[in-house]
Amino acid sequence: MRILVVEDDENLNRQLVHMLEESGYVVDKAFDGEEGHFLGDTEPYDAVILDIGLPEMDGVTVLENWRRDGRNMPVLMLTARDRWSDKVAGIDAGADDYVAKPFHTEEVLARLRALIRRAAGHASSEIVVGEVSLDTKQSRVTYKDQPVKLTSHEFRLLSYLIHHKGEVVSRTELIEHLYDQDFDKDSNTIEVFVGRLRKKLFPEIIETVRGLGYRA
Ligand code: CA
């Protein structure tokens, strides 16, 4: 899952990025509205954390532009606690949820997880495919009720496929959603990780759809 953080406060930006990376997300960051708008317009994100008060272009304008251009990724807006008008403006512009500052990073994480799940059409925090269960809250995978140890890359790949279960996901889409913008997109790592996941655990869960991609 690839997340964009647009926040001009450098400390807060770093804190959010750190927390997201710790939780297994791939994160790109921007420190002003223009840069953030550009990234959200050109890169595929599974969710965006967008501050409302930003230099160059404010968060509401960034979001309005994305929505006008059909960019419909889930957006969690960061607003000031005492400015209820900000929250209304954010929701009107197309925000899916908001968190008021100052916040506990755990709250941001919980809301983000819920947004990503809902965007993929899952109401519960646990997604099950056959004998495999993904607990999005704990970032844990179990197979036949036994916990399974995965590397962060393996987890991300499996988590993306499970969030999109039943759909064919192309190799390009996986690369775009599992790695940040500096990743070498020509490498064969996806095949390697799919192979490892199959060998390690549950060969039946990832199906190769010839010429198109993979399906959980
Ligand atoms: Ca700000």
Q: Are residues 65 and 86 in the same domain?
A: yes
Handedness of CA 203, 209, 213, 214 (dihedral sign): negative
Q: Are residues 54 and 82 in the same domain?
A: yes
Ligand 1 centroid, distance to 59 Cα (angstroms): 9
- Cα separation of 29 and 6, whole Å? 6
Q: Are residues 70 and 95 in the same domain?
A: yes
CB of 41 within 8 A of CB of 15? no
- Cα separation of 97 and 123, whole Å? 16
**Count of residues in the chain:** 216
Ligand 1 centroid, distance to 9 Cα (angstroms): 6
The CATH number assigned to the domain holding 145 equals 1.10.10.10
Q: Are residues 94 and 169 in the same domain?
A: no
Ligand 1 centroid, distance to 79 Cα (angstroms): 9
pTM (2 d.p.) = 0.78
- Final residue of a structural domain among 92, 119, 146: 119
String of b and e for 144-173 (b: at least 16 CB within 10 Å)? eeeebebeebbbbbbbbbbbbbeeebebeb
Q: Are residues 11 and 91 in the same domain?
A: yes
The CATH number assigned to the domain holding 27 equals 3.40.50.2300
Q: What is the domain range of residue 192?
A: 126-215
Note down pLDDT in tens along the chain; length 216 residues: 899 999 999 999 999 999 999 998 999 999 999 999 999 999 999 999 999 999 999 999 999 999 999 999 999 999 986 777 887 888 888 899 999 999 999 999 999 999 998 888 887 888 888 888 999 888 889 988 889 888 888 898 999 999 999 999 998 888 888 887 666 666 677 888 888 888 877 667 888 888 888 998
Ligand 1 centroid, distance to 14 Cα (angstroms): 13
The total number of structural domains that make up the chain: 2
Ligand 1 centroid, distance to 6 Cα (angstroms): 9
- Cα separation of 10 and 18, whole Å? 12
Ligand 1 centroid, distance to 33 Cα (angstroms): 10
Neighbour count for residue 6 (Cβ, 10 Å): 29
